[in-house]
Amino acid sequence: MLSNSRLVHQPHDHRRCISAALTRARDLCAEENLRLTPTRESVLRLLWQSHRPLGAYQLQDQLAKISGKPIAPPTIYRAVEFLLKTGLIHRIASLNAYIGCPFPNSDHSNLFMICTDCGSAAEVAHSSINKLLQSTCEKANFTLQDQSLEIFGLCPNCSLQQQENGGISSADKDHE
């Protein structure tokens, strides 16, 4: 099983996530003769500065802030399209947002554990999940082409916090 859930759910320095992600991206682009342009790199950096998926508008906003000039939506979409195609990021369909992939070039399950409280998303790959889906589809004569499993719940931190607060989530507290 591959998973970044332990890292995602413990406090850590995101600069290490960013630099590891950039190293993976540079290696992958060098191998496949692709160009990691400054915009593509900036978008990847933004997606690794937290473990919460970001939508295209958020990416556009944050990139504009960093570069100090307005960014046209097609610039974002082209960079996102490239990063998706190379497997460096994933799209979380239910949130219409993107997240960096911790293990591009590995077998994938496209399973995301999304915390409904803090919004963090961890990725999991497990061969038994894939086998189960494959055999289920075979039994139904359904040709499996693509899969995406987005599951929602509480991450260990938020679950602990809710226990300590007697079941009040931090999202509720914001509105008090």
d(C-alpha 118, C-alpha 26), whole Å: 30
Nearer residue to Zn ion within complex by CB, 25 or 101: 101
Binding to Zn ion (CB under 5 A): which residues in 52-91?
A: none
Nearer residue to Zn ion within complex by CB, 55 or 87: 87
Residue from 25, 97, 101, 122 binding Zn ion (CB under 5 A)? 101
Binding to Zn ion (CB under 5 A): which residues in 4-43?
A: none
Nearer residue to Zn ion within complex by CB, 71 or 155: 155
Q: Is 158 in the site for Zn ion (CB under 5 A)?
A: yes
Smallest separation (angstroms) from Zn ion to the CB of 166: 17
User: Taking the chain, what is the end-to-end CA distance rounded to the nearest angstrom?
Assistant: 41
Each residue 110-139 as x (binds Zn ion by CB under 5 A) or -, in order, gives -----x-xx---------------------
Contacts with Zn ion, residue ranges (CB under 5 A): 101, 115, 117-118, 155, 158
